[in-house]
Amino acid sequence: MRKITPFLWFQDQAEQAATFYTSTFERSRVVDVIYYPGLGPGGKRRVMSVTFELDGQTVIALNGGPSPQYPFSPAMSCSIHCRTQEEVDALWNKLGEDGEQLQCGWLRDRFGVTWHVVPAMVDEMLRDDDRERAERVMHAMTRMCKLEIDELRRAYEGVAG
């Protein structure tokens, strides 16, 4: 068992979110579902929490009920490092379906969770000792919603697009 596990508080969509996320990422699965004691409306058992794995990372989703004082925000989000543009595109399209595109590779999915879909090589570019290269990459990122590897490479190399 990992010492730290992300815990997501949903109003009533924990199971739907877990199913969506595990269908989006390879090597992912629902591990466990816990139900509230007793029967809910319509005589149905109500899901309390769902434990699932996303590419080996355990996550717990809770149906905490109506809680407008605890909405999701970009202040706590999930970062996905992608190796290829195809991976960026696929995850951007799937997670962004019925969601909202934000700047610099960020998007909010249909459940309100914010994701940063970023090519893995961006970290290396931003850490470059040549600050002008790093600044060009940062500037290029600020003009994009979905990050485009070719455009970032051109900015890094100082090649006009």
pLDDT tens, 26-72?
999 999 999 998 866 666 788 999 999 999 999 999 998 876 677 88
Q: Give the chain's domains with CATH numbers.
A: 7-63 (3.30.720.100), 78-157 (3.10.180.10)
Q: Provide the β-strand partners of residue 60.
A: 7, 51
Question: Could you read off the pLDDT of 103-137 as tens digits, one per residue?
Answer: 999 999 999 999 999 999 999 999 999 999 999 99
Cα–Cα–Cα angle for 94, 110, 55, rounded to 5 degrees: 50
Rounded-to-integer distance, Cα 8 and Cα 109, Å: 13
Rounded-to-integer distance, Cα 29 and Cα 46, Å: 20
Rounded-to-integer distance, Cα 18 and Cα 159, Å: 42
Question: pTM of the entire structure?
Answer: 0.90
Task: List the 78-82 sheet strands across, edge first.
Answer: 78-82, 114-119, 106-108, 100-101
